[in-house]
Structure 1
Amino acid sequence: MNIDNMENIGQIDIEKLTYEEAFDMMKALVDQLENGQVNLEESLKLFEDGTRLYRHCNAILEKTEMKISKFNEYKEEVEVD
């Protein structure tokens, strides 16, 4: 995923991004916000896009945590038997 042109993030289907792609895009947005070279309107758009990316990353992490928990439960059941 090319993150060079962050202006078009609204056109990207965030749900198709891997965790790493979304996280890298989120870091790039934060860098843009922190450098102070964007106006208020652009800052708001970057914030909104960053929030969408954060939610996607968080959903991936929660699914992964659930899979690990289920695996650990299964592993404990197998060890007990």
Structure 2
Amino acid sequence: METDNLTFETALKNLEQVVDLLEKGDLPLEEALKEFEKGVKLARFCTRKLNEVEGKVNLLIEKDGGEFILEEFKISEGE
């Protein structure tokens, strides 16, 4: 699976489809293995994209007074 031209949203949707196929358990072993490999590539792509975005968010947090500081981006539970 080529991921170079995928958006995060498209990759995530494709990953969800792979998971659905594998969860059904109807695929022959060879086809299931191909889908699993495709899913691993998509999951790695999504993880890489999320890490890139997290890094950008960390760099763009502005402190009072106009200076920029590096802070860890945290999502509180329940959001």
Structure 2 unaligned segments of length 5 or more: list them: 69-79
2:30 to 29, 41, 49: 41
CA-based RMSD: 1.6
Q: Which has the higher contact order (CA 8 A, sep 6+)?
A: 1
- 4+ residue runs over 2 A deviation: none
Is 2:47 the counterpart of 1:58? yes
Is 2:72 the counterpart of 1:78? no
Look up the SS of the partner of 1:68 in the other structure: helix
1:67 to 52, 56, 59: 56
Structure 1 unaligned segments of length 5 or more: list them: 1-9
Aligned length: 67
Q: Percent identity?
A: 36
Look up the SS of the partner of 1:15 in the other structure: coil
TM-score by length of 1: 0.76
Contact 1:15 1:56 in 2 (8 A): no
Aligned equivalents of 1:14, 1:33: Cα separation in 2: 20
Aligned equivalents of 2:52, 2:43: Cα separation in 1: 14
Aligned equivalents of 1:78, 1:37: Cα separation in 2: 58
Higher helix share: 1
